[in-house]
Structure 1
Amino acid sequence: MPALVQRHGTRRRTMSEINMVPFIDVMLVLLIIFMVSAPLITTGVVDLPSVGQAKRQPDKVIEVVLGTDESVKLRIDGKDGERATLRNLAARVKEAQGGSANAPVIISADRNVKYEAVVKVMDTLNRAGVQRVGLAVKTTGT
């Protein structure tokens, strides 16, 4: 009987380890493929718009200034104008343009103004038929 117990105790156990060698081989092959193909990939070039200098200044510049409280004020040729509301903004701008649809309108806003307010002003001017609407940018010294 003791021989049976001993024979019964020599049973093979199942191997519960993961064999890492095939995994490492696959990773090394992928690494080599990526190292060889990386220099062959062409990078896309993104052309960003830049702020240009006009050859001559426009005759009349109308600036729509948005305050931090989303109040709208018109500034014509650098002179402070009256406050306006979003409803009468288009009429005031058209009046300031004086029939010249080519007079540029520049929107300037504080950095704390919500983007939505700037878009509303642009949309209001666009729907009124103002053709040249731009955004004022703050340039840094180069």
Structure 2
Amino acid sequence: MALFPGPSGYGFRGPGERPQPMSDINVTPFVDVMLVMLVVFMVATPLLPTGVDVNLPEAPAKQVGTDRKPIEVSLDASGQLYVRQAPVDREELPALLRHLVEAEGDPTEVRIFVRADRSLPYGEVMQVVTQIGGAGFSKVAFLSEPPASSEHEDDR
């Protein structure tokens, strides 16, 4: 006799025989949950904070485009030094930067962005920049926030 599904999801073989459970698994609810989770993560990921929380100074500079991702060196308000979001001792900075660019080749071609909190004294920031330059890196740039007013919009 053939196996026919009944209204409750069980198959009946014939009169007087016990109903047998269907062996198929319904994956539709699982797929629905996975798609909802995918959408939630796709929406939430761009909202995650990135980098060290630093209060940058304002400057009317334009963004620079490039193929290579620069190395970010950050100084927070307490003077703690970070390289790519990882805390670093100041004495270790030159060796760490050289290690990061070993695969890239010439350190004079690697760009380093310095993100320093505006409340830091100028001398502390310059000590870090001097260390970076002493390690052989010549392309060092300071990151800043764009000005709050729109007085430089016609410079585009």
Q: TM-score range by the shorter chain?
A: 0.5 to 0.7
| Identity value in percent | 22
Question: Is 2:99 the counterpart of 1:87?
Answer: no
Question: Is 2:87 the counterpart of 1:68?
Answer: no
Question: Is 2:115 the counterpart of 1:108?
Answer: yes
Aligned residue pairs total 88
Q: Work out whether residues 58 and 103 of structure 1, in 8 Å CA contact, stay in contact via their aligned partners in 2.
A: no
Structure 1 length-normalised TM:
0.55
Question: Is 2:125 the counterpart of 1:121?
Answer: no
Q: Distance in 2 between matches of 1:58 and 1:94?
A: 20
Q: Work out whether residues 64 and 73 of structure 1, in 8 Å CA contact, stay in contact via their aligned partners in 2.
A: yes
Give structure 1 regions of 4+ aligned residues with deviation exceeding 3 angstroms.
none
Any idea what SS the aligned residue of 2:132 has?
Answer: helix
Tell me which amino acid in the other structure corresponds to 1:61: P
Larger radius of gyration: 1
Structure 2: gaps (5+ residues): 1-58, 151-156
Structure 1: gaps (5+ residues): 1-48
Tell me which amino acid in the other structure corresponds to 2:72: E
Tell me which amino acid in the other structure corresponds to 1:139: P
Q: Work out whether residues 71 and 111 of structure 2, in 8 Å CA contact, stay in contact via their aligned partners in 1.
A: yes
Q: CA deviation at 1:105?
A: 0.3
Give 1:123-142 correspondences, 5 Å limit: 123-140=130-147, 142=150
The structure with higher relative contact order (CA 8 Å, sep 6+) is 2
- Which digits, 9 at most, give the CA deviation of each residue in 1:3-42, with x for residues without a partner? xxxxxxxxxxxxxxxxxxxxxxxxxxxxxxxxxxxxxxxx
| Aligned twin of 1:97 | 101
Structure 2 length-normalised TM:
0.51
Q: 2:61 aligns with which of 38, 51, 58?
A: 51
- Which digits, 9 at most, give the CA deviation of each residue in 1:59-83, with x for residues without a partner? 12111100111110011xxxx3x21
RMSD: 1.9
